[in-house]
Structure 1
Amino acid sequence: MNLKKETVGRGRDEASGSGLPPPSPPPGDGQVGELVASLNRRRMYREVTLALRSGLRDAMADFSFLRIRGLRNLLKFLRSVGDSDASIRLFRHSQTFPELQVIPVLFQNTLRQSKDNPVVTLDHIFGVEPMKIIGPATDSEVALALRVLEGCCLLHSGSASLAYKHKAIKVLINILSTRGVLEQEACLDALLALMLDCSSNQMVFEECRGIEKVTELIKDEQGGENISCLGNRDHIKPYVGASWIGA
């Protein structure tokens, strides 16, 4: 019996003097929960980044049908982001990176002013270095871009400030005065989102006499008919899909 005790004691002394760390206890529920939460955050960040990169790539394309596809994907992504506070935080964080910002892509492509489009001549077409020709934005494309703009501003106040740098209010006032009912409805909603908690855009709207222009549009006979249709969204669903405010 004494021999067994001495053998056990000697084994313990050897183990303690070998320098090996004692076996660690199994992870508790708290550690497992933190690991799962961290993995979920990484997964959500990858999904947000992938959705933005894919949508923005198409939204910068030369052809309208590709830009429409990209804008539809961006709008679908924004609607899904609005269902989760964690996704909203990730989207806001993503807009701090220039390569993932949505607003510049909108105003450099679909919402670009028509006067920015250069006049194409035969010299440009048959010259040594032909000029790059970009397809014009269609009505449905402009309406989609305005919905995406509205969604970005509602989810991220910094997007409204960024849009101010691209003269967003002046661009939208021009769209409101020159485009059809499809764009006018989306334009009114986007204007409200741009001016929400953004004094800079509010001041520009006043300088552009925005209220007077909206009033003139309502008083106009054709404009009155268009504005009266704004409450009915059924006629734009085939073009825009599901609008930002509600399907």
Structure 2
Amino acid sequence: MYLKKAFWSEGLNAPESDPQSESPAKAVGELVNSLNKQRLYREVTLALRTGLRDARAEFSFLRVRGLRSILKFLRSVAESDTTINLFCHSQSIPELQVVPVLFQNSLKETEDDIVENLNHIFGVEPMKITSPSTDAEVALALRVLEGCCLLHRESTVLAHQHKAIEVLMNIVSTRGALEQGVCLDALVSIMLDSSANQMDFEACNGIEEVAELIRDKQVDENLRLKCGEFLLLLIGHVNGRESSPMAAVHEDIRRLLGEKSASLIWAASQFGSTLDPEQRLMALHIQARRVLESLDLY
């Protein structure tokens, strides 16, 4: 989906020399702005309905197509405050909510598919069979989840209702490096300013799982670096918040990774908030590598 400016709205901001024409021009401008907003909302709802229809499909390749469409849509939405607000409004409508569809389909755990009875054998209706989620599908679903939670804070509440932390920690424990890395990014987004999800993370022994990955030298180096970035972001977020559900995370990291690495993580998590996003990302990569090097020395 591409949220382009309507061709008929061009020229509205041209300078007007005649004072008598200001009032009609203002009225026309308001009308055009209203029409433009309605057009954008129709595009938002159409893109969501189309993407969600495929994301609910029985076949993985259709779900992947739907997830790619939604992810492209979210990137387009993020370009302006107007479209972000329209997307947030759309998420108050149950049939347009993205997060529940993710957990009911692509992120649905396979154990949920256990057949409880054999009534379909004796009936005339065929049994509905849903193809399992592929690695690529899970990774895409996690990216969509991350985008939804970053653009719409209430999506973290929806994620909590679907036991998101438990599902994501299971992915970290059982899936491959591709899904694990994306999963760590999604974990950051759903725990941001969400006490409920932070408490779930603590209850699932999330720090222990991440610490185990970063300590294991047999694990892919890129994944270990991603674990380092995750810990840096986590520590940076809870610093100075004594009432945070994860206020004891410093002690947990010290216990799991040792005093030296824990101190380095704490100090590195203070990297300048005044940096622009690109510099901040580069600093995060550098500090994560230093954390990894400190662990590999012992």
Q: Shorter-normalised TM-score: what interval?
A: 0.7 to 0.9
Aligned identity (percent) is 65
Could you tell me which runs of 5 or more consecutive residues in structure 1 were left unpaired when the two chains were aligned.
1-24, 232-244
> 1:8-54: per-residue Cα shift (whole Å, max 9, x none)?
xxxxxxxxxxxxxxxxx986111011011001001100000000000
Q: Residue 96 of structure 1 corresponds to which residue in structure 2?
A: 92
Q: Out of 158, 182, 185, which is 1:162 matched to?
A: 158
CA–CA distance in structure 2, aligned partners of residues 78 and 88 of structure 1: 9
**Structure 1 position 222, deviation (Å):** 3.4
CA–CA distance in structure 2, aligned partners of residues 60 and 221 of structure 1: 39
> 1:162-214: per-residue Cα shift (whole Å, max 9, x none)?
11000000000000000001101110000000001111001110111101111
Q: Out of 136, 149, 168, which is 1:172 matched to?
A: 168
| Residue 66, structure 1, aligned to residue 58, structure 2 | no
What is the letter of the counterpart of residue 82 of structure 1? Answer: A
| Residue 192, structure 1, aligned to residue 220, structure 2 | no
TM-score (structure 2 length as normaliser): 0.66
CA–CA distance in structure 1, aligned partners of residues 68 and 155 of structure 2: 19
Q: Report the CA distance shift for 1:114/1:41 in structure 2 as closer, same or farther (over 3 A).
A: same
CA–CA distance in structure 1, aligned partners of residues 70 and 90 of structure 2: 14
> 1:132-163: per-residue Cα shift (whole Å, max 9, x none)?
10000000000000000000000000000111
CA–CA distance in structure 2, aligned partners of residues 188 and 129 of structure 1: 41
Q: Residue 87 of structure 1 corresponds to which residue in structure 2?
A: 83
> 1:65-101: per-residue Cα shift (whole Å, max 9, x none)?
0000000000000000000100000000000000000
What is the letter of the counterpart of residue 113 of structure 2? Answer: N
Q: Residue 76 of structure 1 corresponds to which residue in structure 2?
A: 72
Q: Residue 34 of structure 1 corresponds to which residue in structure 2?
A: 30
CA–CA distance in structure 1, aligned partners of residues 217 and 170 of structure 2: 19
8 Å CA contact 1:48–1:91 kept in 2: the answer is: yes
Q: Residue 130 of structure 1 corresponds to which residue in structure 2?
A: 126
**Structure 1 stretch 183-192 or stretch 25-34: which is displaced more?**
25-34
What is the letter of the counterpart of residue 126 of structure 2? Answer: P
> 1:92-140: per-residue Cα shift (whole Å, max 9, x none)?
0000000000011000000011110124999856853332100000000
8 Å CA contact 2:149–2:189 kept in 1: the answer is: yes
Q: Report the CA distance shift for 1:115/1:55 in structure 2 as closer, same or farther (over 3 A).
A: same
Tell me the C-alpha RMSD between the 2 structures. 2.2
8 Å CA contact 1:71–1:145 kept in 2: the answer is: yes
Q: Residue 262 of structure 2 corresponds to which residue in structure 1?
A: none
CA–CA distance in structure 1, aligned partners of residues 84 and 64 of structure 2: 24
Q: Residue 219 of structure 1 corresponds to which residue in structure 2?
A: 215
The total of aligned residue pairs comes to 208
Which gives a bigger RCO, structure 1 or 2 (Cα 8 Å, sep 6+)? 1
CA–CA distance in structure 2, aligned partners of residues 217 and 119 of structure 1: 34
What is the letter of the counterpart of residue 209 of structure 1? Answer: N
Could you tell me which runs of 5 or more consecutive residues in structure 2 were left unpaired when the two chains were aligned.
1-19, 228-280, 282-298
TM-score (structure 1 length as normaliser): 0.79
What is the letter of the counterpart of residue 135 of structure 1? Answer: S
Q: How does 1:117-156 map to 2 (within 5 A)?
A: 117-119=113-115, 124=120, 128-156=124-152
Pair member with larger Rg? 1
